[in-house]
Structure 1
């Protein structure tokens, strides 16, 4: 059993780096983005390198991730885990060392970090924002400047993975995710279609599939008429809608 979040991702990549690990749909925009294990790992590595080399963060520091379910949210959360930085995923984060958010939440999120503030429009093809709010740096523009491979120190079981009101170690996140997978009815090798409106918690759409070796079809603004044909075309084995 993998006991840290980076170990779980590394195992997914080792198992098959080329097949889809996270497939993203947004029926409001028509966006579809498919990330293999290797591609997601690339974004995670760039994010971890940015956190350490660009923002000067490391073990003991924390970031707020004030973003909806999205493949970029996954890259940021997993990048933080790789760097040893705890992620506060709550709706009302405590003061943190850096902040990641979206334009819709930028004004409200200013109070949560006096440090670095990064923003992403969560746009198709990872396009940058045309207009940046004052005081923010565009995540997708900035992260591309960093290396594709991360060679940081290994993360320990007891290192913090989550910050905020409910702090959790890496081992606790993996153990909870394994229990949650049994509750949701999927396991290793499953391909799980998830409606983000019904399952917005990263514990369900990110940590749990990763911990047990499942892949995800993550759907925002899911059109009910598209659920079955999408499940068929994506070879989903479990539907969480």
Structure 2
């Protein structure tokens, strides 16, 4: 059994690198982005290289991800894990080595102590921001400058995966995700449509499907009138909405 987040993700990509692994919909903007395992792996590697080579972070450092469910959030969380870092997913402000957020959350992020701040607009086609918030670097523009493959220090099951008030090891995160997959009825080979409003926790919308060996159709601002047709088009077998 895989016992770290990077192991789980590597296995998910290896099963069928060309198949859709995460498909993103935002019914408020009309955005649809489909990422194969290979494409998502490329974003994850670039993110890990940004964190290690660009920011200069080391094994065990903490990175705040003050972001809503989104495919870029998935790339960041998986990239943080690949680099051997610990993700802080929010709550009370903590000292961290780097922080990623959106322009509309900059005020809430002000209390977090860090020198390295990145913003993303989570825009269609992974477009960069016209003007990043003051004191922030545009994640999308910056990450493209980094390598497509990451070769870092191996991550161990006992290493810290989540930072913050409740810290969890990779082993514990994977065990929790496996338990959630069982509770939610996600099984190997499933294609899972997930409403972000009902399942905002990455343990549900990202890690549980990956641990189970499923692929993801992640929907923000879900128009319920479109659910049945979308489930048919995307060959969905499990709906969490």
TM-score of Structure 1 vs Structure 2, range by shorter chain: over 0.9
- 1:60 corresponds in structure 2 to 60
On the 8 A contact 1:86/1:161 being kept in 2, the answer is yes
- 1:180 corresponds in structure 2 to 180
In 2, the alpha carbon distance for the partners of 1:65 and 1:114 equals 12
CA spacing shift, 1:140–1:238, aligned 2, 3 Å? same
On the 8 A contact 1:45/1:149 being kept in 2, the answer is yes
TM-score, with structure 2 as normaliser: 0.98
How many residue pairs are counted as aligned between the two chains?
Answer: 241
Residue 58 of structure 1 deviates from its aligned partner by 1.8
On the 8 A contact 1:64/1:93 being kept in 2, the answer is no
- 1:98 corresponds in structure 2 to 98
Residue 44 of structure 1 deviates from its aligned partner by 0.2
- 1:45 corresponds in structure 2 to 45
Runs (4 or more) in structure 1 with deviation over 6 Å come to none
Give the secondary structure class of the aligned counterpart of 1:8. helix
| 1:73-130 residue CA offsets vs partner (Å, 9 max, x unmatched) | 0000000000011000123342211100001101220221321000000000000000
Give the secondary structure class of the aligned counterpart of 1:90. coil
In 2, the alpha carbon distance for the partners of 1:39 and 1:9 equals 13
Q: Which runs of 5+ in 1 are unaligned?
A: none
- 1:240 corresponds in structure 2 to 240
Give the secondary structure class of the aligned counterpart of 1:22. strand
In 2, the alpha carbon distance for the partners of 1:214 and 1:146 equals 29
Q: Which runs of 5+ in 2 are unaligned?
A: none
Task: Report the aligned-residue RMSD.
Answer: 0.8
- 1:115 corresponds in structure 2 to 115
- 1:171 corresponds in structure 2 to 171
Higher mean Cα deviation, 85-94 or 102-111?
Answer: 85-94
- 1:153 corresponds in structure 2 to 153
- 2:134 corresponds in structure 1 to 134
- 1:201 corresponds in structure 2 to 201
- 2:16 corresponds in structure 1 to 16
On the 8 A contact 1:24/1:34 being kept in 2, the answer is yes
